[in-house]
Amino acid sequence: MIISALERTTMTNPAAASTPWHNLAWMFGALATSVAVVVGAVLAVVFAATVVVVGFMGSALFGIAAFALRGRKGGKGPEGEPGLIEARNVGGHSWVAYGWNERR
C-alpha cells in the first residue's frame, strides 16, 4: 500500500498533524479540488453543447440532401409526356431538338 508523506507524518507524530503547514495543505487541497470540479463542469457543458451543435448540423445536412434528392426525382423526362420533345442549347441562340421525328 502506498502512503503519502503527509499521512506518514500524521501517523507517526500526532503533533505534526496540527501544524499550520498541515492546515494550509488541507486548504490548498480543498481549493484545488473545488477548482478542478468547476473546470470539469464547464468542460462538460462545452462538450455537450458541441455535441448538440454537431447534431443540428448533421440534421440540416440530411434535410438538404433529402430536398436535393427529391428535386432530382421530381422532373420527368421526354418519356413522361407523349407530346414533349427534348431541346438543348448548343450556343447562343441555336437549339437542337430531339425526339420530334420519333413515333410512339
State the Cα torsion 15-19-23-28 to the nearest 10°: -120
Distance CA 44, CA 56 (A): 18
User: Which of these, 9, 35, 3, 4, lies nearest to 22 by C-alpha position?
Assistant: 9
Tell me the pLDDT tens digit for each residue of 83-92: 677 788 888 8
Domain locations along the chain: 5-98
pTM to 2 decimal places: 0.48
Widest distance between CA atoms in the chain: 111
Checking if the pLDDT of 38 tops 70, the result is yes
Distance CA 87, CA 104 (A): 18
Task: Calculate what percentage of the chain has a pLDDT beyond 90.
Answer: 37
8 Å CB contact between 18 and 11: no
